[in-house]
A = this chain, B = another copy of it.
Amino acid sequence: MGEVGKGLTYEGAGVSIAAQDRALAEVKRLAKSTFTRGVLSEIGGFGGLFTLEPENPSGAVLVASADGVGTKLKVAQMAGLHGTVGEDLVNHCVNDILVQGARPLFFLDYFASGHLEPGVAVQVIEGLARGCRGSGCALLGGETAEMPGFYRPGEYDVAGFIVGSCRRDRLLRREDVTVGDWLVALPANGLHTNGYSLARKVLFEALGLDIGSEVPGLGRTVAEALLEVHRCYLAAVAPLLDAGLVTSAAHITGGGIPDNLPRALPDGVGAEIRLESWDEPALFRVIRDAGRVPEDDMRRTFNLGVGMILVVAPDRLGAVLERLVPHGPAWVVGRCVAGAGVRFVGERRA
């Protein structure tokens, strides 16, 4: 239900903060009213936790998460390229349970359109299957809904549900994080699946680009830049989990670093993020400049090039960075400090 909070606070135009807070409190209360003995998670994690063996401290825990692709779908539909949004969705889901310590078991999809075009549906499912194969996750089922009048011609929505598992005593616990732990960043592969409403506004309206136009200074078209596939961090992070080298982790999705990193930290621990530690990908600069987007909005809307942050104890930092070498760039992006929330320090590198 943490995801509900994200939705309720996203943009928020026309909805009072007080109304949002009341709704979120009510949703939490309603969800809690259903909790059974198997539920291990408090509301707000990246995935929900359920055990079939409440008495077994090392029993298997199921970790589940639901996600959508958001308005990245609109870009795919404008471009007529439906083959990658399924992979975006699976990877998003895999990452959400990975930051709890879990590996994927199976995935189900929900695909809804006004009038089903079999060719489009097959392309979307090809993407889902590719993502699932890449993560050793079974595409176990799904629902295809035809809802005349709900979706415009050519438009569809797609949601995904994942279930993974983790031994209960191997779950990542934010309570284990302490001041002084290092924050290790793994790069994002474009916008992933967040911030598309704002990005589309800037690129199509402020800059007047078409889906096939080249983004100024990028050497890539709008479609290419915006449809880059949400990276899956399973291959890079699973060996670290096996070796017990990671204390906690955050998947940087809607809300950016400021909203997601604190979900991986306990009360009393905040984060200092060093802006000079990475080169922000050029696409974010284009959006910031062309849209004159305030820095705080940039940080709360986009991943800014950081797709996942691992929390690592000082004596494990070397081992973590060493094992990440074969998986591409990784860097120390900051450190855990006393306090709360995220503080950005230093100068951004453009």
A residues whose Cβ falls under 8 Å from a Cβ of B: 1-4, 6-8, 10-11, 13-15, 19-20, 22-23, 26-27, 30-31, 33-36, 38-39, 41, 43, 47-50, 52, 60, 62, 64-68, 70-71, 73-74, 105-106, 108-112, 115-119, 121-122, 125-126, 128-129, 132-133, 136-151, 155, 157, 159, 161, 163, 165, 197
Closest residue on chain B to residue A142 by CB atoms: B66
Contacts of A159 in B (CB 8 A): 110, 112, 143, 145, 159
A41 CB contacts on chain B under 8 angstroms: 140-141
Query: Using Cβ atoms and an 8 Å threshold, which residues of chain B touch A161?
Result: 64, 66, 108, 110, 161
Q: Nearest residue in B to A39 (C-beta to C-beta)?
A: B138
Cross-interface CB contact of A36 among B6, B31, B138, cutoff 8 Å: B138
Query: Is A48 in contact with B141, judged by CB distance below 8 angstroms?
Result: yes
Point out the residues of chain B lying under 8 angstroms from A27, CB to CB: 121-122, 125
Minimum Cβ distance to chain B for residue A121 (Å) = 6
Contacts of A13 in B (CB 8 A): 115
Query: In the complex the two chains form, is B64's CB within 8 Å of A140's CB?
Result: yes
Pairwise interchain contact A146-B11, C-beta atoms closer than 8 A: yes
Given contacts A48-B141, A141-B65, A141-B66, contact A71 B149 (CB under 8 A): yes
Give Cα A155 to B137, complex, Å.
33
Tell whether, in the assembled complex, residue B64 and residue A144 are in contact, meaning their CB atoms are under 8 Å apart. no
19 A-B interface contacts by CB (under 8 A): A1-B139, A3-B142, A3-B143, A3-B144, A4-B111, A4-B143, A8-B144, A20-B118, A30-B128, A31-B141, A33-B133, A34-B129, A36-B137, A41-B140, A48-B141, A68-B143, A150-B151, A157-B157, A161-B161
B10 touching A129 by the CB < 8 A rule? no
Q: Is the CB of B33 within 8 A of A108?
A: no
* Nearest 5 CB-CB pairings of A with B: A7-B144, A23-B118, A48-B140, A161-B161, A48-B141
Complex CA distance for A139 and B70, rounded to whole angstroms: 22
Closest to A44 in B: B141
Name the residue among A50, A139, A146, A165 with the largest chain B CB count within 10 angstroms: A146
Closest B residue by C-beta to A25: B122
Q: Which residue of B lies closest to A117 (CB)?
A: B15
Residue among A3, A36, A119, A159 facing the most chain B CB atoms (10 A cut-off): A159
CA distance A1 to B122 in the complex (A): 12
**What residues on B are CB-neighbors of A151 within 8 Å?**
150
User: For A7, A41, A117, which residue has the most chain B Cβ atoms within 10 angstroms?
Assistant: A7
